[in-house]
Amino acid sequence: MNWTTVKRIFRSGLLDFWRNGFVSLASILVMTVTLFVVGMTLFAGVILQTALNDLRDKADVSVYFTTNAPEDKILELQKSVNALPQVESTQYVSADDALANFRERHQNDQLTLQALQELGANPLGAVLNIKAKDISQYDAIAQFLEQQQALSTGNASIIDKINYFDAQHRQALERLQSITDSAGTLGLVIILILVAVTIAISFNTLRLAIYTSREEIQVMRLVGAGSFYIRAPFMVEGVLYGLISGLVTLILFYPLTYWLGSATADFFGGINVFSYYVSHFLQFFAIIVGTGVVLGAAASYLAVRRYLKI
């Protein structure tokens, strides 16, 4: 294939694109809808992920220590817990901090505060809040803590209570896990179906557009044109549809995300779709324009094939 052929293919593709104005416009519109859906699913995926992460983040396990537990022992335990591969972070709340928190929480509850006053000494023990990397890993962490507790039976155990072993807390954790997991799967399935349907519609539109040219393709064959020479201009057209639709979609997303930005920031785990769009623009460009171009080229390639069989 030489330079002249390449030039002819591009010229022919561009000319056909221009002269078949209405067909081109219709194809671009349908393809824009497709790419818009693809873009929306990207946003939906991100929003879903952050919302689910936000939910998962609310889960933790708290270890309550006895009031007389020495701090160095607690910090030692925190160290060994931190060393566990499943643990994302730990937060140590000393007995004094726990008391301060308690006071703050009950600042309007005079009765409780009075009772606390009466008691004199700090009735609260220190607390270690543990966050796992994944919800499913709390079980392993709790097992580890239980082991630690068992090991120290010789001395008095410093651990008073691990809330993971409360039936309620455990149930809440498990429910949270199953909800987030199934929401994630369901979201993915819906997204995939939506994308598949719109791609199919787009494919069909291009097939119809090329169907109108089927006699031309046959004439080209009879005049002695090779398959590639017939097919390539149609692919140029398809790529052009994808390119234009992709750019239109990207432009449409700008005001749309701007408009929705603050609303999504309030609702779904604090992600602002507008700032996300702007900061990930190159990725959006690559995915949306790339999808359009590949879709256009592939649909044209396949649609022309069936008329080349003479």
Partner 1 sequence: MQVLDEEPSCREGRERYNRKVVMIYFDRVSKVYADNSIALEDVSFSVEPGEFISIVGHSGAGKTTLVKMLLAEEKPTDGSVFFESINVHEVPLSRINHLRRKIGTVFQDFRLLPQKTAYENIAFAMEAAGRHEEEIHSDVPHVLDLVDLTDKANNFPDELSGGEQQRVAIARAIVNQPDVIIADEPTGNLDPVNTFEVVQILKKINDLGTTIILTTHNKGVIDSLKKRVITMDRGRIVRDDREGKYIL
DSSP result, 20-58: THHHHHHHHHHHHHHHHHHHHHHHHHHHHHHHHHHHHHT
- Decide if residue 19 touches partner 1 (CB under 8 A): yes
Q: How far is Cα 77 from Cα 162, in angstroms, rounded to an integer? A: 13
What residues between 229 and 268 interact with partner 1 by CB under 8 A? 229
Between 98 and 235, whose beta carbon lies closer to partner 1?
235
Interface with partner 1 in residues 215-234 (CB under 8 A): 215-216, 219-227, 229
Q: Which of 206, 217, 233 is nearest to 16 (CA)?
A: 233
Return the range that interacts with partner 1 (CB under 8 A); candidates 70-78, 149-157, 172-180, 214-222: 214-222
| Residue 158 neighbours by CB distance under 10 Å | 21
- What does the alpha-carbon distance between residue 94 and residue 48 come to, in Å, rounded to a whole number? 36
Q: Return the range that interacts with partner 1 (CB under 8 A); candidates 11-19, 50-58, 89-97, 161-169.
A: 11-19
- In the complex, least distance from residue 137 CB atom to partner 1, rounded to whole angstroms: 59
As given in the structure block, the two tokens for residue 226 are 């090779």
Strand segments (E) across 107-169: 127-132, 159-162
Nearer to partner 1, 156 or 310 (CB): 310
Rank residues 18 and 259 by Cβ distance to partner 1 and give the closer one.
Answer: 18
Residue closer to partner 1, measured from CB, 22 or 153? 22
CB 238 within 8 A of CB 14: no
Residue 27 or 90: which CB sits closer to partner 1?
27
Instruction: Look at the alpha carbons of 271, 273, 278, 280 in this order and tell me if their dihedral is positive or negative.
Output: positive
**Positions in 37-56 near partner 1 (CB under 8 A):** none
- Cα–Cα distance for residue pair 265/161, rounded to 1 Å: 37
The residue (of 58 and 309) whose beta carbon lies closer to partner 1 is 309
Q: How many residues are there in the chain?
A: 310
CB of 22 to partner 1, least distance (A): 12
Kindly give the pairing relationship between strand 61-65 and strand 87-93.
unpaired
Q: Which stretch binds partner 1 (CB under 8 A): 88-96, 145-153, 181-189, 213-221?
A: 213-221
**Between 41 and 213, whose beta carbon lies closer to partner 1?**
213
First to last CA, the chain: 23
Stretch that binds partner 1, among 54-62, 125-133, 171-179, 302-310 (CB under 8 A): 302-310
20 binds partner 1, rule: CB under 8 A = yes
Residues that bind partner 1 (CB under 8 A): 4-5, 8, 15-16, 19-20, 215-216, 219-227, 229, 308-310
